[in-house]
């Protein structure tokens, strides 16, 4: 399988190259030259596979021959063996034809583990094959840092440096990072804000000599391998609910458009998806686009669902490329106009095309809290605020889904990650899962640095292992 750029001017690459390159050289994002098709008979044969077994079948279609099948299978087995629920992505029924798929049984209690746990292994394997070492560098305001750390800990070829603003993350968030004592994990508290930390990371990536010297890589949400790994759970849920002989709809709490875009890929591969419902909080640029074609940026407002406080959804460009008939020039021109004017030019026909599969809605903070309370009263289930946005919008948009079709809401985080929102809704704080219950007593390790990129780069040079 070959990969092409959404802007049409970068070289074709295979999976292994796309994995390590991230962004295409023309500024675009890589995606497969054509969607692999899965026939109904194949899907029926996949029914009953366990999660890792299904992941092997789906991932193979994207990986092609760039990784030996036995190596890929082993990495997939290792990845999902580390999840805290035997079903890996269990389905729970909330009401008639209303389900949640729990994607929070990974090591950091959020769905990003599904892709990042595999990505860390894929990186390590690729570096091993080419006898190189790599450094993962990122800044976090709380959530993604721990997922990256858990993905890279104890990998032979990788060191991971994660910056957080000193004293500005919640204690649970900090401890999820700083209590990982593996020798290749380097937590750094920056005397400054998240933006200061982010600027230092950007400056380090901008220093080409340094970048090449240490093999600097980002684990960000535009990486194709991350998206591919997320396609699996759409198949998993739909097959369990009767696909390919029955349609299934999904409602997806959305920020960077990575997770719901994976659902679009599953549909493009032949999975019978009745609707993909894009659910946003008050930062609703995507909901506005799918409702009435208005893709225009506004300032980001903080909400109870912070991982969705995003107004420029980086993966959206991949969908736009398909809406524009896979025309790289037209995609690049539209993105340029958006940058210059804050408005994305799309035709009525393109919006109509998107609306065949997608629907959308937004839920504000009051609705989020009310939904947590309501679902708890109805079923005893405690939702995290991101999942609550998904349930609220799924209920609002139910009429757009054929009667009798199951709607699966993706539960993207464990409620214990967001205890304040849950307490506001139901008057008590959810407990951490047993394997994390002692988080507040575990020893921590981190260094504290001034907000200065030259201090950061020399710290990385002296602290990465056996350079
Ligand atoms: C990252 C995240 C999201 C948004 O996912 P995207 O792929 O960025 O759309 C939603 N919920 C939680 C809990 C997240 O961590």
Kindly report, residue by residue over 68-118, the tens digit of the pLDDT.
999 999 999 999 999 999 999 999 999 999 999 999 999 999 999 999 999
Atom in ligand 1 nearest the alpha carbon of residue 257:
9
For residue 240, pLDDT over 80 is answered with yes
What separation in Å is there between the alpha carbon of 370 and the centre of ligand 1?
20
> Does the CA dihedral 349-262-299-341 come out positive or negative?
negative
Pocket test for ligand 1, best of 140, 310, 315, 386 (most atoms within 8 A of CB): 386
DSSP 103-157: ---STTSBTHHHHHHHHHHHHHHHHHHTT--EEEEEE-SSHHHHHHHHHHTT-TT
What separation in Å is there between the alpha carbon of 253 and the centre of ligand 1?
7
For residue 198, pLDDT over 80 is answered with yes
The pocket around ligand 1, CB under 6 angstroms, is made up of 110, 112, 143, 221, 253-259, 307-308, 386, 412-413
Higher pLDDT, 405 or 27: 405
pTM of the predicted model, to two decimals?
0.95
Q: Nearest residue CA, atom 1 of ligand 1?
A: 307
User: Whats the size of the chain, residue-wise?
Assistant: 467
Q: Which of 86, 92, 112, 353 is catalytic?
A: 112
pLDDT tens sequence across 45-74: 999 999 999 999 999 999 999 999 999 999
Among the listed residues 278, 352, 346, the one whose alpha carbon sits nearest the alpha carbon of residue 310: 278
Mean pLDDT for 242-255 is 97
Q: Nearest residue CA, atom 15 of ligand 1?
A: 307
- As separate numbers, helices (DSSP H) first and strands (DSSP E) second, the chain gives 19, 13
Identify whether 112 is a catalytic site residue. Answer: yes
Domain boundaries, the chain: 91-109+225-426
Q: Exposed, middle or buried, 182 (CB in 10 Å: 0-12/13-18/19+)?
A: middle
For residue 173, pLDDT over 90 is answered with no
Q: Which fold has domain 91-109+225-426?
A: Rossmann fold (3.40.50)
What separation in Å is there between the alpha carbon of 183 and the centre of ligand 1?
29
Atom in ligand 1 nearest the alpha carbon of residue 144:
15
For residue 386, pLDDT over 70 is answered with yes
Q: Nearest residue CA, atom 8 of ligand 1?
A: 256
What separation in Å is there between the alpha carbon of 430 and the centre of ligand 1?
20
What separation in Å is there between the alpha carbon of 458 and the centre of ligand 1?
33
């Amino acid at each position: 399988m070959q990969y092409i750029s959404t802007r049409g001017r970068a070289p074709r690459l295979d999976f292994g190259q796309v994995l390590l390159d991230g962004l295409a050289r023309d500024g675009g994002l890589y995606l497969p030259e054509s969607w692999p098709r899965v026939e109904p008979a194949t899907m029926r044969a996949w029914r009953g596979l366990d999660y890792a077994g299904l992941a092997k079948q789906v991932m193979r279609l994207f990986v092609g021959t760039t990784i030996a099948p036995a190596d890929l299978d082993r990495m997939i087995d290792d990845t999902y063996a580390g999840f805290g629920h035997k079903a890996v992505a269990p389905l729970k029924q909330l009401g008639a034809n209303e389900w949640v798929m729990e994607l929070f049984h990974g090591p950091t209690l959020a769905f990003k583990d599904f892709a990042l746990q595999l990505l860390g292994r894929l990186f390590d394997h690729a570096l091993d094959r080419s006898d190189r070492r790599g450094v993962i560098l990122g800044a976090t305001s709380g959530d993604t840092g721990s997922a990256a750390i858990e993905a890279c800990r104890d990998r032979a070829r990788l060191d991971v440096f994660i910056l957080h603003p000193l004293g500005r993350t919640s204690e649970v968030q900090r401890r999820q990072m700083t209590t990982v004592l593996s020798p290749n994990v380097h937590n750094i508290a920056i005397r400054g804000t998240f933006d200061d930390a982010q600027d230092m990371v950007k400056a380090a990536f901008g220093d080409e000599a340094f970048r090449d010297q240490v093999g600097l890589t980002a684990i960000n949400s535009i990486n194709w391998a991350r998206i591919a790994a997320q396609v699996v759970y759409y198949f998993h849920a739909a097959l369990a609910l009767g696909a390919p002989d029955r349609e299934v709809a999904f409602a997806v709490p959305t920020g960077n458009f990575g997770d719901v875009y994976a659902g679009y890929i599953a549909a493009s591969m032949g999975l019978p998806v009745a609707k993909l419902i894009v659910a946003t909080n008050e930062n609703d640029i995507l909901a506005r686009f799918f409702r009435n074609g208005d893709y225009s940026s506004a300032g980001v407002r903080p909400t109870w669902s912070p991982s969705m406080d995003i107004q420029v959804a980086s993966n959206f460009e991949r969908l736009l490329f398909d809406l524009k008939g896979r025309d790289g020039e037209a995609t690049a021109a539209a993105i340029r106009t958006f940058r210059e004017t804050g408005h994305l030019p799309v035709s009525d026909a393109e919006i109509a095309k998107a609306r065949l599969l997608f629907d959308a809605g937004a839920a504000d903070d009051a609705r989020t809290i009310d939904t947590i309370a309501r679902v708890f009263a109805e079923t005893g289930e405690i939702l995290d605020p991101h999942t609550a946005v998904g349930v609220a919008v799924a209920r609002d948009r139910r009429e757009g889904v054929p009667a009798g079709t199951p709607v699966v809401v993706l539960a993207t985080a464990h409620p214990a990650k967001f205890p304040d929102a849950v307490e506001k809704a139901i008057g008590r704080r959810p407990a951490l899962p047993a394997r994390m219950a002692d988080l507040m007593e575990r020893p921590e390790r981190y260094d504290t640095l001034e907000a200065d990129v030259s201090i950061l780069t020399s710290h990385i040079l002296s602290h990465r292992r056996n350079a």
